[in-house]
Amino acid sequence: MQESLKDLSNKTRHTVHEQIRMESRPFTQNAAHLSMTATTLLKKMTEYRRSERNQSAGDLLSSGFQPPDDYDSELQLIAHVLAYINVAYKRFADMIPMRTEEQFQTPLADMIQKQMMDKFLVGEGCEERCRAYLEDAPELITRRRELDRKLDILRAADQEVRKFQAC
């Protein structure tokens, strides 16, 4: 069991690292969504830069004149990087749990179920073993009987109290 669990853990670790390597390549992303996100981000950053420059330049820019931004290429790069991150983190947040479940949790549950079946349902005396596991412990049976007796006393007392409430 311990060796199988270690194998599953190593396989899962390998699969997660593989997913991380795959996600680092841009072609795994939806290009149209990536482009649309980059365009939206670039527009927001450009508008923000213009509003900041308008506040600092005052009357010159109030006439409608907009000088070119010295950082246009940098803003485009930032917009593309942020767009990639915006798309990639969602995929990453979905894929890692999915891969972990596929590579570790599902095989682990199957392995535990198989080992339990082999232990309890195979071989000589399997019916007795199953019956023994389904039976309650003697202490639990004694405790349950004691609680049932106390419950009967409480019910009888409740009936007596209700007689006085009816009067």
User: What's the one-letter identity of residue 88?
Assistant: A
Residue 19 CA to residue 23 CA, distance in Å, equals 6
Instruction: Return per-residue pLDDT of the chain as tens, 167 residues.
Output: 778 888 888 888 888 788 777 766 555 556 676 777 888 888 888 888 777 766 665 545 455 555 566 777 888 888 888 887 777 777 777 777 888 888 888 888 999 998 888 877 888 888 888 888 888 999 999 999 999 999 999 999 999 999 888 76
Q: For residue 161, what pLDDT is reported?
A: 92
Q: What is the pLDDT of residue 156?
A: 95
Q: What is the pLDDT of residue 149?
A: 97
Predicted confidence at residue 145, as pLDDT, reads: 97
What span, in angstroms and rounded, lies between the C-alpha atoms of 132 and 151? Answer: 28
Q: With beta carbons less than 8 A apart as the criterion, state whether 54 and 61 touch.
A: yes
Q: What is the pTM of this model?
A: 0.39
Cα distance between residue 4 and residue 26, in whole Å:
36
Distance (Å, whole) CA 45 – CA 78: 9
